Structure formats: structure tokens, C-alpha cells
């Protein structure tokens, strides 16, 4: 698989870079610029080589047409600040503005194209439609660098089809992500602890299936824990439940016991009268959740137990918050896990998405962890053993 170094003599070349700049916005204000910061090293390296860098990215889920709330304009401004250099912003993706901006770029300059998902061809399931859009993108460049790990699990024009049309290589961010994921799946240093949270068991089925026999400990929190508790016959009140996964949870519990994997479930829960009602928050035993209450976080006893389970770990993968971390009353379980990861003497990996947002919102810095993934979905699919189209296409 080609690395960035394989693209020789880039001075004066137009290099299309697929970055993942899908950051959260409050209006036009970026609330977490982690993905933009992660994209900077590859762009900076290309600039230093004298390339004319043309960045492609998406934001949100527009319906294949321009939507003002999903414009990348705020991202262009922030990217320029982080690079310490102006970033020209094209107000379309492959139209007159893009063509003019790319034509005007000099060696070392950076252009950010407008949201690729403003074009129906980007996400089309029709190979011809997607390919036609990729042709228009390819006309803007001489080479392609795949550096948006958060989208490599998607067979999309700016991720997959473009690599069939130009000399291609992976960027430093993608290379680093793959290196970490290999360390999690190929002979991980032990003890190996996997921490899973988030709302649904069904979102993590593949990961549990693939890692249950690889991990030494599996810690379960978040909304998904209540399906496990219900499977054990416990009352869960009005907490989140996936009834169609009760049998699956029982199977996981049995498999873990048979394999000698320690599967930890919370022993206490923070409950409330309704979702987000901080005023009614209370801690109850996990086997005594009142019928009218909803569970919104793991309790302090569980947070301490999870931290203790992580204390001697040499490898940790964490994906999914322990509770509704956006509200202080339900954030302490997530904080306890995050704090424990900062003390891990080995590789600690925060698996992107809500987990990455949570650690930053709770005041932790990125460098307190071994690695914070920029691609929650892509990381999970890799750990499930699935192929990633945006990676496979680079192997050819």
C-alpha cells in the first residue's frame, strides 16, 4: 500500500486530499476542532513539498444538494488558523469557483472545496453516477491522498472512485490509525481491556463478536448495559432496551464465562425521573432500579470498579460514553473511565465519535491518551473484521 513518500516530485503538482473535517457546529461556531487539527500534519507536509493542496471533505448529511447549514466555510477559516496560512475556499465542489480557486493556487497553497456531499454523485449507490462525479474531481488534481480515516469505510466518490483515477497514497493520519488498529487486533499486549458504551447493543454486535475472544476483560456501560441487565432478569425501569437483543446478550455472557473473559457490568446506576432531568438524579443498585426511573449513567461504585479493572491494562480500546455525558449529573461515569485511561501504562485508544467528544468536553487533552481515533464508524468496522473500501482501493 502506497505511503505519502511514494508520490515523488510533488512540487507544482495539484494534490487532492480527502480529509475528514466533519466537525460539530453550533450555528457557524465549531465546538470541537479535533478532526481539523488531526488533518493538519498531512496537509502541512504536502505544502512543504511544494504541492498545490486541494482539500475535499464533507460536513453533516445534506441530501445531495447545497444546504447553508452544512457549508465548510467555518472549517476553511479554522484550517487556515491552524496551518498559519490562508486557505482559499471554493463555494462549490467542481464548478466555476472550484476550478478558478485551483487554477489560481501556487506552490504550497491550500484550497478547500465546498462540501462534497452537496453533489448527489458523492454518495450514490450507482457506480456510473458516482464515477461521473469522481471524474470531475479528478480533473482538479494530479494525485490523490486518502487522509480521512472517518470515511474509509464508505464506497464514495471522493474516497473510493477517485483512487481509481489518479496516482494515490494514504496520508499520515490514515497510516497512524491503521497502525493502532493492527495493534488492537494482532497480538495486543496484555492485559487487554475493551470498554464499550453508547446507546445500543446492536451498534456493537460485530465488535463484541470479534473481540470477545481476544480481550481479557470487557466492560459494558452506556445505554446498552440495560439490555444486558434485563437479560439477567433485572428490573430496568424505563431505561433503554433492545428486546430483540436479549438472547444475544445472554449468549455473550455465556461465551465470556466459557472463554475466561471477565465481563463487567455496573453494580450501581444513576437514574432520573425522565431523560435529562438532572434535578431528580439519584444513585440506585443495578438490581433495584425503580419501575418508573430511567438509567442515565453508571454509578460511582461502578466507575471505581471500572477504573480498577483498567489499572493493570497494557492495551485498552474504549468506544462509547458511559452515560449522558453532556449533562453534569450523568457525566461522572464517563469521567471515571477517561481518567483511568490517562493512567494506563501502555496503549490507550479512545475510539472516536462520542467518546472523543466526551473526553474533550470533560476537560481532558488529546495528549493524555495514547490515541484518539478520528473515525468511530471506521474503527468499529475494522475491529469487526470488515473490509474498508477506501483502504482496499489503495492496495491496487
125 given a catalytic annotation: no
> In this predicted structure, what is the pLDDT of residue 377?
85
- Of the given ranges (98-102, 352-356, 389-393), which has the lowest mean pLDDT? 352-356
Say if residue 108 is in the same domain as residue 220.
no
> In this predicted structure, what is the pLDDT of residue 1?
61
For residues 297-304, average pLDDT? 98
For residues 333-357, average pLDDT? 93
Say if residue 142 is in the same domain as residue 89.
yes
The reply to whether 215 falls in a domain is yes
The reply to whether 310 falls in a domain is yes
Has residue 396 got a pLDDT over 70?
no
CA dihedral 227, 228, 233, 239 (to 10 degrees): -40
For residues 236-248, average pLDDT? 96
The reply to whether 392 falls in a domain is no
Say if residue 161 is in the same domain as residue 256.
no
375 given a catalytic annotation: no
The reply to whether 391 falls in a domain is no
Say if residue 290 is in the same domain as residue 184.
yes
Q: Could you tell me which residues are annotated as the binding site?
A: 20-22, 35, 58-61, 117, 154, 204, 295, 326, 352-355
State the CATH number of the domain containing residue 339.
3.40.50.1260
pTM for the structure as a whole: 0.89
The last residue of one of the domains, among 172, 189, 210, is 172
The reply to whether 62 falls in a domain is yes
The last residue of one of the domains, among 172, 196, 211, is 172
For residues 141-167, average pLDDT? 97
Cα 3 off chain centre by: 22
Say if residue 218 is in the same domain as residue 284.
yes
> Among residues 37, 78, 200, 234, which one is catalytic?
200
**pLDDT single digits (tens) 161-220:** 999 999 999 999 999 999 999 999 998 999 999 999 988 888 888 889 889 989 999 999
Say if residue 60 is in the same domain as residue 140.
yes
For residues 340-353, average pLDDT? 92
Say if residue 152 is in the same domain as residue 187.
no
For residues 306-312, average pLDDT? 98
Say if residue 187 is in the same domain as residue 166.
no
> Among residues 353, 375, 376, 390, which one is catalytic?
353
Say if residue 236 is in the same domain as residue 378.
yes
The last residue of one of the domains, among 128, 143, 172, is 172
Secondary structure in 3-state letters for the chain = CCEHHHCCCCCCCEEEEECCCCCCEECCEECCCHHHHHHHHHHHHHHHCCCEEEEECCCCCCCCCCCHHHCCHHHHHHHHHHHCCCEEECCCCCCHHHHHHHHHCCCCCEEECCCHHHCHHHCCCCHHHHHHHHHHHHCCCCEEEECCHHHCCCCCCCCCHHHHCCCEEECHHHHHHHHHHHHHHCCCCCCEEEEECCCCCHHHHHHHHHHCCCCCEEEECCCCHHHHHHHCCCCCCCCCCCHHHHHHHHHHHHHHHHHCCEEECCCEEEEECCCCCHHHCEEEECCCCCCCCEEEEECHHHHHHHHHHHCCCCEEEEECCCCCCCCHHHCHHHHHHHHHHHCCCCEEEECCHHHHHHHHHCCCCHHHCCEECCCHHHHHHHHCCCCCHHHHHHHC
Rounded to an integer, what distance in angstroms lies between the CA atom of residue 125 and that of residue 120? 10
Say if residue 292 is in the same domain as residue 349.
yes
The reply to whether 330 falls in a domain is yes
Has residue 375 got a pLDDT over 90?
no
The reply to whether 250 falls in a domain is yes
> In this predicted structure, what is the pLDDT of residue 393?
96
Say if residue 287 is in the same domain as residue 338.
yes
**pLDDT single digits (tens) 1-36:** 677 878 889 999 999 999 999 999 999 999 989 899
> Among residues 14, 35, 52, 155, which one is catalytic?
35
User: What does the mean pLDDT of the chain come to?
Assistant: 95
Total number of domains in the chain: 2
pLDDT classification of 374: cutoffs 50, 70, 90: confident
200 given a catalytic annotation: yes
Residue range of the domain that includes 253: 180-383
258 given a catalytic annotation: no
pLDDT classification of 351: cutoffs 50, 70, 90: confident
Q: Could you tell me which residues are annotated as the binding site for substrate?
A: 20-22, 35, 58-61, 117, 154
The reply to whether 389 falls in a domain is no
* More confident of the two residues 187 and 76: 76
pLDDT classification of 252: cutoffs 50, 70, 90: very high
Say if residue 120 is in the same domain as residue 249.
no
Amino acid at each position: 500500500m502506497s505511503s505519502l513518500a511514494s508520490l515523488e516530485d510533488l512540487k507544482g503538482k495539484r494534490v487532492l486530499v480527502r480529509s475528514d473535517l466533519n466537525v460539530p457546529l453550533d450555528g457557524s461556531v465549531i465546538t470541537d476542532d479535533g478532526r481539523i487539527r488531526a488533518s493538519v500534519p498531512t496537509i502541512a507536509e504536502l505544502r512543504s513539498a511544494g504541492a498545490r493542496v486541494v482539500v475535499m471533505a464533507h460536513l453533516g448529511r445534506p441530501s445531495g444538494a447545497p444546504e447553508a447549514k452544512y457549508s465548510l466555510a467555518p472549517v476553511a477559516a479554522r484550517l487556515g488558523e491552524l496551518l498559519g496560512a490562508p486557505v482559499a475556499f471554493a463555494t462549490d465542489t467542481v464548478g466555476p469557483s472550484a476550478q478558478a480557486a485551483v487554477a489560481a493556487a501556487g506552490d504550497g497553497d491550500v484550497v478547500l472545496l465546498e462540501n462534497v456531499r452537496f453533489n448527489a454523485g458523492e454518495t450514490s449507490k450507482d457506480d456510473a453516477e458516482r464515477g461521473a462525479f469522481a471524474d470531475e474531481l479528478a480533473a482538479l488534481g494530479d494525485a490523490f491522498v486518502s487522509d480521512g480515516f472517518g470515511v474509509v469505510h464508505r464506497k464514495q466518490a471522493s474516497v473510493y472512485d477517485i483512487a481509481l483515477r489518479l496516482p494515490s497514497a494514504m496520508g499520515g493520519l490514515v497510516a497512524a490509525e491503521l497502525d493502532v488498529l493492527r495493534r488492537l487486533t494482532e497480538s495486543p499486549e496484555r492485559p487487554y481491556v475493551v470498554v464499550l458504551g453508547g446507546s445500543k447493543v446492536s451498534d456493537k454486535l460485530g465488535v463484541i463478536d470479534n473481540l470477545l475472544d481476544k480481550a481479557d476483560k470487557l466492560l459494558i456501560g452506556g445505554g446498552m448495559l440495560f439490555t444486558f441487565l434485563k437479560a439477567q432478569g433485572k428490573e430496568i425501569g424505563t431505561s433503554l432496551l433492545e428486546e430483540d437483543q436479549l438472547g444475544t446478550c445472554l449468549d455473550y455472557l455465556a461465551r465470556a464465562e466459557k472463554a475466561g473473559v471477565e465481563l463487567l457490568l455496573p453494580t450501581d446506576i444513576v437514574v432520573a425521573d425522565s431523560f435529562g432531568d438532572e434535578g431528580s438524579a439519584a444513585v440506585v443498585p443495578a438490581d433495584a432500579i425503580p419501575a418508573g426511573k430511567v438509567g442515565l449513567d453508571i454509578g460511582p461504585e461502578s466507575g471505581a470498579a471500572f477504573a480498577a479493572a483498567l489499572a493493570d491494562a497494557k492495551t485498552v480500546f474504549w468506544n462509547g460514553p458511559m452515560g449522558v455525558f453532556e449533562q453534569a449529573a450523568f457525566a461522572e461515569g464517563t469521567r471515571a473511565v477517561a481518567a483511568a485511561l490517562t493512567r494506563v501504562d501502555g496503549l490507550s485508544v479512545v475510539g472516536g465519535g462520542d467518546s472523543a467528544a466526551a473526553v474533550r468536553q470533560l476537560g481532558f487533552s488529546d495528549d493524555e491518551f495514547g490515541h484518539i481515533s478520528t473515525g468511530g464508524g471506521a474503527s468499529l468496522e475494522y475491529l469487526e473484521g470488515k473490509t474498508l473500501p477506501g483502504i482496499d482501493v489503495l492496495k491496487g
